[in-house]
Amino acid sequence: MPLVDAPVAFEIRLTDGDARMGRIVTPHGEIPTPCFMPVGTRAAVKAMAPDELWAMGYRMVLANAYHLAVRPGPELISELGGIARFMGFKGAILTDSGGFQAMSLASINSIDEGGIRFRSHLDGAPITLTPESAIALQQSLGADIMMALDECTPFPADHARAQASLELTARWAERCLAARTSPTQALFGIVQGSVYDDLRRLSAAQITALPFDGYATGGLSVGEPKAAMREMAALSASLLPPARPHYLMGVGTPQDLLAAIGMGYDMFDCVLPTRNARNGGAFTSEGRVAIKRAVYARDPRPLDPRCDCRCCTNFSRAYLRHVYMSGEILAARALTEHNLYFYGRLMREAQAAIASRTFKAYAANVTATIEAGEDAIRGTKN
Amino acid sequence: MPLVDAPVAFEIRLTDGDARMGRIVTPHGEIPTPCFMPVGTRAAVKAMAPDELWAMGYRMVLANAYHLAVRPGPELISELGGIARFMGFKGAILTDSGGFQAMSLASINSIDEGGIRFRSHLDGAPITLTPESAIALQQSLGADIMMALDECTPFPADHARAQASLELTARWAERCLAARTSPTQALFGIVQGSVYDDLRRLSAAQITALPFDGYATGGLSVGEPKAAMREMAALSASLLPPARPHYLMGVGTPQDLLAAIGMGYDMFDCVLPTRNARNGGAFTSEGRVAIKRAVYARDPRPLDPRCDCRCCTNFSRAYLRHVYMSGEILAARALTEHNLYFYGRLMREAQAAIASRTFKAYAANVTATIEAGEDAIRGTKN
């Protein structure tokens, strides 16, 4: 397939069923897809250094326009060369619009046609995020990929509420496109529709009618049952223009990612690997490990016997449990590094499996091993 | 000078005035001296990974016998191969005896001829540390260098109290030597005497009469004026056997270390570079930087323009201030790494200056640059 030109170019090199392997080319370099983006909310991926992300193969990080608008502010970041340079990351940056955080974090807010009004979670200062200001903000932050301002429909929402929400998102989407002035920064639209098939179809029709550079499925992983998430993600993926990047926002576990790659998604972000790590949770090839469990107190084995990351090369489970129980920063560092390494390797292996047309078997095998391991872990005490 | 054999061998290769350049050889490798030991209280140097310490040139880390006795316990560490292997550090480990922590942290304690009785700061369990148990503990932790159990005389202490304290330390010192059974683990004695010349002489005479593998000056940096610290450190150094390693415990700033190297000290430990880092404080070639100051908010320069550490290579002061103000773990990491790099380079430069017989000029020049920088910083606002 040809390289589709746009502020970010996208090329699908090989497919295997609905799964796609390719690359996104941005002003800050090339990202092999499918790709996972570590979440760097405040221009830092928690507990990590940017050169470590790069060394693990990460070429794009997600940052949060809302948080960076509040502190240190877009002028400062712009003055210092944009987010990537500000944070010392050699790769590309995708920013979310700030809408999700405005709704989930701000103490007071209202949403209407004009935009989202809320108060800073830091100092209570009033802030209004409009489609126009969300784009201006992301442009000045220097994002390689910007996200349209949407209303991330809360769960549960009844059909009428969900429809009103997606219609607002569609009107804002047009305004976002109109507001974009930068020729080098891509803009992605977001499909909403809650857990309703007809509304997902409606939203996809509205958003894909607009000339975005890529398309995201939003409003999932917000509390709905896992089966509904998978079903809506699959439906939405089938409705996105094949030649553009498909981004499933806020998802998920390793098993979720493999399932979504099988649906045709190219991009992911999620706080799970970083947040769980800080709470002592590790993703391994044999399922999740909660390092605080007493069963690991004298365990000389690495976190994941099949892993060659720095954490698994240097530390025993007993030591990781000790530093976690002691509140050492190293615990957050080591588990985060392991989890991100695990997610990064999953993406590389998925790319290779697609290239060799063995993705379905690969995904089934990895998923089965993880689930068998989790069953075994559930069977032990402590 | 010949390599003095002992559980740890010590060789003085070159001297420049009273300053000495050489090496300590332990079962876990060789440590060039003068050396600074990062403090790894609970078998982890806060915010650092052990391979980073190694990459910066650190070959010996201090760990805390008291903390490790409380958690995870010496049996577990012994079972997992000793502290160095437990924490994934390729170099050597010096443990303090636990006496200082027993006095400074434990909620209830009493000290008498038998030892120190206190309650665990974690769960209140009663613990008694005797000279014999302190040695058994450090032996089972697998320390390369163990410290004798001493009473770290508090400041202020009147002459009678300070004398009683150092006499107790001397009696314990003999018991520690008698208790040592390991032929491969070194044991250092500690000179006390508070801020009294005659008591420092008395303590040095008592301790150096005993066949320790090295000798430390203790009881300084505990609240006494800086001038008294320097004076007592110099006096004590002049009384230690020249052919053995001289260790100044718990000191200090870069200027203090240079002064102490000039007195003939070979080894140092201090929490300053690591603790200050977590509070936003950096040691630089131009004096201390408090990164939270508003003056750095838009400062694109590295923390230390003369430094090539990972922090100074990747991050601006503006970014470091942002991550510090945001409470990101990366702030603690980056500043700790910089500070330890700075201390490590200071040691390497001091070794080179001694080798070229230019130590006095080197120390004077570094000290003057730091102090001029600190004067300039004090002159600015915010």
* Sequence ranges of chain A with CATH classification 3.20.20.105: 9-270
At A1, list the tokens: 């397939």
The pLDDT of residue A2 is: 42
Smallest CA–CA distance, residue B116 to chain A, in Å, is: 24
Rounded CA-CA distance A173/A157 in Å is 21
Q: What mean pLDDT do residues A261-286 have? A: 98
- Looking at domain A9-270, which of 1.10.510.10, 3.20.20.105, 3.20.20.70, 1.10.357.10 is its CATH number? 3.20.20.105
Confidence check: pLDDT of B106 > 70: no
pLDDT band at B2 (very low <50, low <70, confident <90, very high): very low
Rounded CA-CA distance B323/B333 in Å is 10
pLDDT band at B366 (very low <50, low <70, confident <90, very high): very high
**Which of B319, B340, B341 should we substitute to test contact with A (largest number of A Cβ atoms within 10 Å)?**
B319
Tens of pLDDT, residues B130-155: 999 999 999 999 999 999 999 999 89
Query: Which residues on chain A are in Cβ contact (under 8 Å) with B326?
Result: 42, 44, 71
- Determine what percent of chain B is predicted with pLDDT higher than 90: 87
- Determine what percent of chain A is predicted with pLDDT higher than 70: 97
Least confidently predicted of A62-66, B32-36, B104-108: B104-108
- Nearest alpha-carbon partner for A232 in A245, A215, A243, A219: A219
- Is the CB of residue A317 less than 8 Å from the CB of residue A327? no
At A296 the three-state DSSP class reads helix
CA dihedral A329, A332, A335, A339 (to 10 degrees): -140
Tens of pLDDT, residues A109-132: 788 999 988 888 788 888 889 999
Q: What mean pLDDT do residues B99-127 have? A: 79
Residues B87-102, buried b or exposed e (16+ Cβ, 10 A)? bbbebbbbbbbbbbbb
CA dihedral B122, B123, B125, B129 (to 10 degrees): 0
Confidence check: pLDDT of B380 > 80: no
Smallest CA–CA distance, residue B380 to chain A, in Å, is: 22
CA A15 to each of CA A261, A262, A264: distance values in angstroms, whole numbers, following the listed order: 11, 10, 9
The total of other beta-carbon atoms located within 10 Å of residue A181's CB is 9
Tens of pLDDT, residues A70-103: 899 999 999 999 999 999 999 999 999 887 876 6
Compare all CA atoms of chain B with the CA of A296 and give the residue at the minimum distance: B76
A126 prior amide bond cis, ω within 30: no
Rounded CA-CA distance B48/B330 in Å is 11
Query: Which residues on chain A are in Cβ contact (under 8 Å) with B71?
Result: 322, 325-326
- Nearest alpha-carbon partner for A37 in A61, A53, A59: A61
Query: Which residues on chain A are in Cβ contact (under 8 Å) with B44?
Result: 323, 326, 328, 330
Three-state SS annotation for B261-276: HHHCCCEEECCHHHHH
How deeply is A121 buried, as exposed, middle or buried, from its count of CB atoms within 10 A (0-12, 13-18, 19+)? middle
Confidence check: pLDDT of A3 > 60: no
How big is the CA angle at B39 (ends B35 and B44), to the nearest 5 degrees? Answer: 125
Are the beta carbons of B326 and A46 separated by less than 8 Å? Answer: no
The pLDDT of residue A382 is: 55
Strand ranges of the sheet holding A109-112, from the earlier edge strand across to the other edge: A109-112, A115-119, A126-129
Are the beta carbons of A72 and B315 separated by less than 8 Å? Answer: no
A72 prior amide bond cis, ω within 30: yes
Which residues of A are identified as catalytic?
A: 96, 269
Q: Which amino acid is at A202?
A: L
Are the beta carbons of A72 and B323 separated by less than 8 Å? Answer: no
B123 in active site: no
Q: What mean pLDDT do residues A23-37 have? A: 97
Confidence check: pLDDT of B1 > 80: no
- Nearest alpha-carbon partner for B169 in B185, B139, B147, B186: B147
Measure CB to CB from residue B44 to each of A316, A318, A323 and give the nearest one. Answer: A323
Phi-psi region of B35 (alpha: psi -120 to 50; beta: other; left: phi over 0): beta
Are the beta carbons of B80 and A316 separated by less than 8 Å? Answer: yes
Q: Phi and psi at residue A380, in whole multiples of 5°?
A: -95, 165
**Which of B328, B335, B340 should we substitute to test contact with A (largest number of A Cβ atoms within 10 Å)?**
B328
- Nearest alpha-carbon partner for B318 in A143, A64, A82, A90: A82
Are the beta carbons of B316 and A76 separated by less than 8 Å? Answer: no
Measure CB to CB from residue B329 to each of A43, A316, A329 and give the nearest one. Answer: A329
